[in-house]
Amino acid sequence: MKWFTDYTLVEFPKLGLDLNVYENLVEFTIPGWDIDITIKFYGVIIAFGFTLAVLFGGRMAYKWKMSIDKMLDVLIYGTLGGIIGARLYYVAFEWDSYKDDLLSVFKIWEGGLAIYGGIIGAFVVSYFVCKKIDLNFYKLLDLAGMSLLIGQGIGRWGNFTNQEAFGINTESIFGMTSDKIVEYINNNYSSLSHNGINIDADLPVHPTFLYESVWCIFGFIVLYIVCQKFRKFDGQLILGYGIIYGLERAVVEGLRTDSLYIGDTGLRVSQVLSLAIVVVCATLMIVKLVGIHKANVDKVKEYKENNNV
């Protein structure tokens, strides 16, 4: 058994910081079976973020007097829907890579999952499960909005261990570089140039994983404060999630080098979808809050009229 293997030296030149970032936590062979097993830090970090998100969701469900048993049903089926949705979303926009080998569509362990596809898949499945078991879907979405930001804020550090999902060149103090980053840029230079991304492998790049992680954690804090003091209706927090995460993704996606594109239009799928989500969620939020305010004003007016105040 070997612990902490296959590391990459990651440099932050302007911070004067060099880190040995390990890709694998442990590698071992099952005696008598000749099976090699590798547990990667990426998976461990994702699992840790998922666990914290579930624990938080369970705690809030108890506080809101929601059935934990029903929540577990939604969690199980929603997770499966999320995995399927994440894969289908990615494959749909990278079809040329899979059309000649359809079996490769099922090889998710080789990578190729999209967060937006996962969210959409999980939400669709959860909606039908909630209808089946009589659980408040919009209250569940409010829990999901806060929990997702926890999971995403932590999970993005998995990209750091893999040295993936980084951005274009930058002169900021957070700029980073590594052999894996240089290798990726050199191997994909032509496709990056085709998409209008001009990048120098010898210069530091944006640590976009860090930007998204910090934004998501901050977003969680904002939604949690709203949850405690300003929540006016079921579904308000998931609309807040759409605005917060949508804004972040629209900005950070524009810095990344591994975006999915809409054909040869040069438009990044996640940026277009993020902006649409922000507009829709902001509009729904405003309409709902204005409606609640108007209803409250009408109630006060009616009370005064009935009591000659």
**For residue 309, what pLDDT is reported?**
56
Give per-residue pLDDT as tens, 161-188: 888 889 999 999 999 999 999 999 999 9
Structural domain contains residue 209: yes
Residue 107 has pLDDT above 80, yes or no: no
Residue 4 has pLDDT above 80, yes or no: no
Mean pLDDT, residues 121-133 taken together = 91
Confidence of residue 111 (pLDDT cuts 50, 70, 90): low
Identity of residue 128: F
Residue 153 has pLDDT above 90, yes or no: yes
Structural domain contains residue 174: yes
Q: Mean pLDDT in the chain?
A: 87
Structural domain contains residue 76: no
pTM over 0.85: no
Structural domain contains residue 224: yes
Residue 50 has pLDDT above 60, yes or no: yes
Give per-residue pLDDT as tens, 56-79: 988 898 888 888 888 888 888 988
How far apart (Å, rounded) are the C-alpha atoms in residues 231 and 142? 10
How far apart (Å, rounded) are the C-alpha atoms in residues 29 and 15? 39
- What separation in angstroms does the CA of 226 have from each of 188, 210, 292? 43, 24, 16
Residue 133 has pLDDT above 80, yes or no: yes
For 32: left if phi > 0, alpha if psi spans -120 to 50, otherwise beta; the answer is: left
Structural domain contains residue 35: no
Structural domain contains residue 185: yes
Q: What's the structural domain count of the chain?
A: 1
Confidence of residue 27 (pLDDT cuts 50, 70, 90): confident
- Its domain, for residue 142, covers 43-66+136-306
| Residue 210 in tokens | 């860090």
**For residue 109, what pLDDT is reported?**
66
By three-state DSSP, how is residue 283 classified? helix
Share of the chain above pLDDT 90, in %: 46
Share of the chain above pLDDT 70, in %: 93
Structural domain contains residue 59: yes
Give per-residue pLDDT as tens, 191-207: 888 888 899 999 999 99
The residue count of the chain comes to 309
| Residue 194 in tokens | 């085709």
**For residue 300, what pLDDT is reported?**
64
How far apart (Å, rounded) are the C-alpha atoms in residues 35 and 38? 10
Report H helices in the chain: 41-63, 68-93, 115-133, 137-155, 157-162, 179-187, 189-194, 208-229, 236-252, 269-306
Identity of residue 304: K
Mean pLDDT, residues 86-104 taken together = 79
**For residue 33, what pLDDT is reported?**
66
Structural domain contains residue 231: yes
**For residue 23, what pLDDT is reported?**
85
Residue 219 has pLDDT above 70, yes or no: yes
